[in-house]
Structures are given as structure tokens and as C-alpha cells.
Structure 1
């Protein structure tokens, strides 16, 4: 595979792009007729990167920098869990970890429910930064944390917090993929991104709606959307707000489940995707696509 992380998205052309080019993207506009043009010619829009992000130069360097960033962020997260929750008993502190199943969730809720009465700000900020950490590095546990938020906080506060922290964390992942992890990401997922690039050809004017619907759907996974978005020229504003609104409906289901957590005795009673919930998510997805249909139907 080519060492250029963006080369899979660029079709062969008759002219060579200079090595000093910092970024190249396909221009989906029709090329203008010229005497020297052929049927195989395509128009390439070369865009100079104006952002001040660090871009990796090699696969090994990209992997090393990602490892360092993950290590530093994990140390900061451990520090938050250790020093931002004062007054916990030693036994309770040892039980503080990311919930991975229903039993972990019940145990963590039992500890935090009594603790939050005197240390609300500590619990809330720990929840907020932990959620961003999980989303930034696509680590598992966000769903369980959303349910825990519904159990600990006011449902509307929990929903708003989950939506905002998810949008922030996903945007951090977007930035990491576009900069330090650019070579590694394209080396691993370039074939899939190339297929998405073809599918996005008709959606360049509707990126916000496109991201919103993708975040609603269970597939493709959110972490892959976060990594691929910057390499497919998805604007960061469309990505952030599309994520914020797209994760809100499924997060509402999780928060509702958390509000009833104390009444559940086993994981069998924790039912998230009921037929009604599925229909509700489908209806929201269709509603998000209506503006796209109207704009394309009437050429707005």
C-alpha cells in the first residue's frame, strides 16, 4: 500500500501532484472541457492545510504517538478517579472502575448513590471527563456509563451531559485521526474509507444530516465514523452537531433505563431495544433525511 495516507481516496491522474502538497481531496464537480482533456481525466482540488494540527509522517511514528497520547490520557483519568472523589472508604474506592456488565453497574450505583449527596460536583465532573475519555479513544463502556448517569442524575441533566460529552469526545477522536494518527488510520481502514468516499459523493451538501443518521444507526460503529470523518472531508462543525443530536435519542433510552435501575434485580430485566424504541429511532432517522429530500427534490 502506498505510504501516502490519503492516496486510496484519489484516483489515478495523468499529472503528478508535488510532494509539497499537504492535503489532497477529490473535487466532485465535473471537470471543464479542454482540448487536452481525456475521458479519464479528473479534477483534483488541492487544499493547503491551514490548521495547526500535528500530522504524522510514518506508520511507526503514528502508532508511537497514539500510544503516548493514550498513556498520558489514561494517567490523567486515573488521577481524576483517585483525587476527585475524596472521602471514599478504601473498600469502596477499590470498587470504582468502568462498568462492564449489569453487576458492575449495580455495585457502582450503590456506592455513588450515597456519595453523591455530599459530593455532587465531584461525581458529576468525574462522570463528564470519564465519558469524554472513553469516547476520545473509542474504549468500551459508554453505554453502561450512560445508564449509570440516568441512575445518578436528573434524567434531562444526564441526557444533556451524555450528548455533550459524546460530541466532545468524538470530536477529539476526529482531531487525533486527522493529525497524530493519520497514517495509522489510513493504513488500517483505507479500503473502507474509499467505499464511503464514493457513497458521500451525493451528500457533500448534507453532511450534518448524514452524520446525524449515522450516529443514530447501530452500524457502522461510532468509533469508525469518528476515525473516518476527517479523511472524508466532513466539516468539524457538521460532525460535532451531527454527533450531539444523533446520539441523543439512543442515549435517552439508556438514561431511561438507568432511572429504573434500582428496581431491576437482574440483567434480564434490562431491556433497551424494544420494538417501540426501534420504531422511534427509525422515525427520527427518517425525519432527519426529509430536509435532504426536499433540498434535492426542489434543487434548493
Structure 2
């Protein structure tokens, strides 16, 4: 027995709608995960490689101007023991050639931050160990802000497919939160920078994608990184007491950061309360 005509029509319509949703040409929301595909096109990959080569060449030229040293002992630390050995090796070098050492330190930090190379927290601890709290804090905040800004513009060039591929759900959440807080965007970005609510790496990459203006991004980064940087730089004064990076952020430290972050977002919460009243 043949199915009624209206049932056939409705079934066909449903099948067409489902096929349209699954079609690769259909428009997908931001953050749709690209499974089984390379997230970058050929031109985007070439652009990213070109930027990396330019930065690497600049960094290499800076290292060529450095005084001779035992380079076999200079490597990016991965553990606290590596960091302690590096610090012992660099103390004399930093005192003998302060300007050139700072140039090399800053260029390395910014390079790592720009290209999302893990280990900047060890660089922050090293700043505290070698330069003390005041100069170390200035160097860390300057480098972290410069590196985050470079990463922002790099993401503006090639970041959208990468972030949508790696963190689709997190990107959708971030975009929704930003759209709700456009009027007090600086306060919200300060809260994110001060507290570990979202990773700094994700914030650097996702900010241009969700249309956060650069001046807001820059100010929030410059100011918001100060509390956590102070904790890290100060910890660098006592490297011998640290067993791992996890020792830096215990419950008490995280509570203080969330308290400071809550102060930055308080005007937004107060305004929302008045609206509902």
C-alpha cells in the first residue's frame, strides 16, 4: 500500500532539511569543529610560515650580537631543576652584559608568547631570580603584553580556523559572553586577565575573532597581568623552595586573584542590578 501523498511530501522535506544541515556548503556557526581537515588554507599556512621566519631571523640576528657564552648550557627550561641550573649559569652573564642580556631575554620572551611556545612562566620566574621584584615585574609585564599583542595580530591573520578547530565550544561561549558585555568590555577583559577563568593563550587567539578592539585588549592585558606576574616574579626570588610550577598557585593565591578580578567586574554587576530594579 502506497503512503499518503502528504506524508511522502513531509518526509521528503524533512530529509532535504537534514541533508541541507549536513551539507558542507551550508553556513555553520562560528566555532563549528573542522574534523578531519587541516584548518589552514595554503595561503594562510604560507603567511604564518613567513611571519615565523621573519621573527626567527630577527631573533637569530640578535643572538649573533651577543657576547660569547657556553650556549650548550643555555636552553629553555622545562622543569624547576632546569630553571635553577639556567639561573646559576646566567647570573654572571647578566651582570657583565646587562643591556645585551635584557635584549636577548625580551626578544626570546616575546617570540615565545607570539607563537604560543610553552615555558613563559619559567621566563617570568627567571626575571624575578635575576632582576628582583621591581625590574623583574616591569620586564615580565612589558614582554607579556608585547607578545600577547603580536599574537593578537597573528591571530587576526590566520587564527579563526585554528581556534574554531581547537576550541569550538569555548569560542562560542566566549563570543556569547563578549556580546552581552559590550558596554563594559574592559571590565570583563580585566576580570579574565586577572583570574584563571580562561587560559591567556585562548584569550590572545580568540580576541580578534570575536571583535574585541585592540585598545581594549591591550589595556586589559597591560593592567590585568600585573597581579599574577607579581606573584610569579616574587616566587622567582626563592627558586630553591619551589618544587614545581603548581606550587605558585595554591588555593590562597587563586582566591586573592579572584577577589581582585571581582573588583574589576563589580561596576558591571552593579549596573545590571540597577537595570533589573
Normalising by the smaller structure, the TM-score range is: 0.7 to 0.9
Scaled by the length of structure 1, the TM-score of the pair is: 0.73
Q: Distance in 2 between matches of 1:63 and 1:197?
A: 25
Residue 221 of structure 2 is aligned to residue 221 of structure 1: no
Of residues 165, 172, 177, the one that matches 2:155 is 177
Query: What per-residue deviation string (whole Å, max 9, x for no partner) do you get for residues 58-114 of structure 1?
Result: 72211222123223323332333x3243032xxx22111221111221111111111
Scaled by the length of structure 2, the TM-score of the pair is: 0.79
Query: What per-residue deviation string (whole Å, max 9, x for no partner) do you get for residues 142-168 of structure 1?
Result: 100000000011311111221121111
Of residues 84, 106, 123, the one that matches 2:84 is 106
Residue 50 of structure 2 is aligned to residue 68 of structure 1: yes
Please name the residue that 1:283 is paired with.
259
Please name the residue that 1:232 is paired with.
210
Q: Distance in 2 between matches of 1:293 and 1:283?
A: 14
Q: Distance in 1 between matches of 2:183 and 2:243?
A: 43
**Structure 1 residue 258: Cα displacement:** 0.6
Q: Please give the residue correspondences for 1:73-222 in structure 2 after superposition, counting only pairs within 5 Å.
A: 73-80=55-62, 82-88=63-69, 92-186=70-164, 188-222=166-200
Q: Distance in 1 between matches of 2:182 and 2:25?
A: 27
1:224 aligned counterpart, secondary structure = helix
Q: Distance in 2 between matches of 1:75 and 1:213?
A: 36
**Structure 1 residue 192: Cα displacement:** 3.5
Q: Distance in 2 between matches of 1:199 and 1:125?
A: 38
Q: Distance in 2 between matches of 1:285 and 1:127?
A: 29
Gaps in structure 2 of 5+ consecutive residues: 1-22, 32-39
Residue 221 of structure 2 is aligned to residue 243 of structure 1: yes
CA change 1:109–1:194 in 2 (3 A) is same
Please say if residues 150 and 255 of structure 1, whose CA atoms lie closer than 8 Å, have aligned partners that are also in contact: yes
Q: Distance in 1 between matches of 2:132 and 2:254?
A: 24
Q: Distance in 2 between matches of 1:286 and 1:73?
A: 37
CA change 1:269–1:170 in 2 (3 A) is closer
Q: Distance in 1 between matches of 2:87 and 2:66?
A: 14
Gaps in structure 1 of 5+ consecutive residues: 11-57
**Structure 1 residue 235: Cα displacement:** 1.0
1:97 aligned counterpart, secondary structure = coil
Matched pairs, number: 245
**Structure 1 residue 198: Cα displacement:** 1.9
CA change 1:69–1:214 in 2 (3 A) is same
